[in-house]
Amino acid sequence: MKLTAVADMFVVEEYYRNGLADFPEFELIGMPFFGLTDRTKMREVVRKIETGGPNACEPPAELWDLIEETEVLIVHLCPVSAELLARAKNLKLILTNRGGTENIDIAAASRLGIPVLANPAHNANAVAEYTIGLLFAEMRNIGRAHAAMMRGEWRERFPNSGNIWELRGQTIGLIGFGTIARLVAKKMQNFECRILVSDPYLPENDPELLAYGCTKVELDQLLAESDVVSVHARSSGKPLLGADELARMKPSAYLINTARAHLIDYDALCAALEKGQLRGAALDVFTAEPVPADHPLLKFDCVTLTNHRGGDTVNSYADSPAMLYAEARVLFAGDYDCVHFWTNKKETCK
């Protein structure tokens, strides 16, 4: 199988080549580079693609020629548009190292009968670990205590002083129950929490609901009963949590977002924090990155803010190509039911 891999500053050439070591059936015919090498500027490219789709940016010029003989295309952030796919006369499979497929024209691929395998698990463990880390940092004032000590201050009072509870016995609400949320739920079992899940696409008999001790509820119930609400959904429309939804949360609750900034109306969140409608928030994603110096969230002492670090581990990028090569091998063997990372319909493979 003739393979073209598109590298970028996150999934680099080394990771693609190392991953191929155990998959001799793939012949690497080219590896163009997409995007920029400046991390801050590249964040803007990512945001442009995530909001504008596969036509928001141009793929590398070299890819237009390579795609004509490519049988398997593997990308990370590189856009794969309908126009590019129209030139892919031999393409049998698209692999993407991301959980989302905003950079790929799924409809065009489906029309052409080209399956797409995404990899939502590539950074899932990293983000799940980070989510739990943010939860503790906010509830237990870890970041605030550290910052105070670095200033030479032995701080005794915090916004939640007198209301600091152990995690044991608390109710955790997970909005969305995809790969990351499932890992959060699994890891939270050791903390003896009650876990509520709201996900309109989740079947009532999902085996992992029972395995991880979760209860599926409607969003309103989750918001009303949760001591911590953590967002793990995907949405390209209006925010899932606006002023009305935030008002339904407990005044003693904390909100965590390691998913997408647009899932929460941050202006409404600031208003809720100002009014004391929430006890605090921990956020890793923002509508503008880097966050402007005058961002209203920066004035609150009851928030923990980090600069989009959730999935940023070596593992999340380095391991992904081999994970996808393995899934591709299974697919080409015809065992569709064993493929884990489907994003478009299985029948397009037949």
pLDDT at 348: 40
Which of 76, 182, 279, 308 does the annotation list as catalytic? 308
Positions in the chain whose pLDDT score sits under 50: 346-350
The first and second tokens of residue 311, run together, are: 């999935």
Q: Tell me whether residue 98 is one of the annotated catalytic residues.
A: no
Which of 289, 295, 309, 340 does the annotation list as catalytic? 289
> Over the Cα atoms of the chain, what is R_g?
22
Asked whether 263 and 241 are in contact (CB, 8 A), the reply is yes
Residue 121 contacts by C-beta under 8 Å, 6 or more apart in sequence?
A: 99, 179, 323, 340, 341
pLDDT at 337: 65
Q: Tell me whether residue 156 is one of the annotated catalytic residues.
A: no
* Averaged pLDDT score across all residues of the chain: 94
Q: Tell me whether residue 329 is one of the annotated catalytic residues.
A: no
Domains detected in the chain: 2-122+314-349 (3.40.50.720), 125-305 (3.40.50.720)
pLDDT at 232: 96
Task: Specify the pTM.
Answer: 0.82
The first and second tokens of residue 110, run together, are: 């489906």
Which of 98, 260, 279, 327 does the annotation list as catalytic? 260
pLDDT at 99: 83
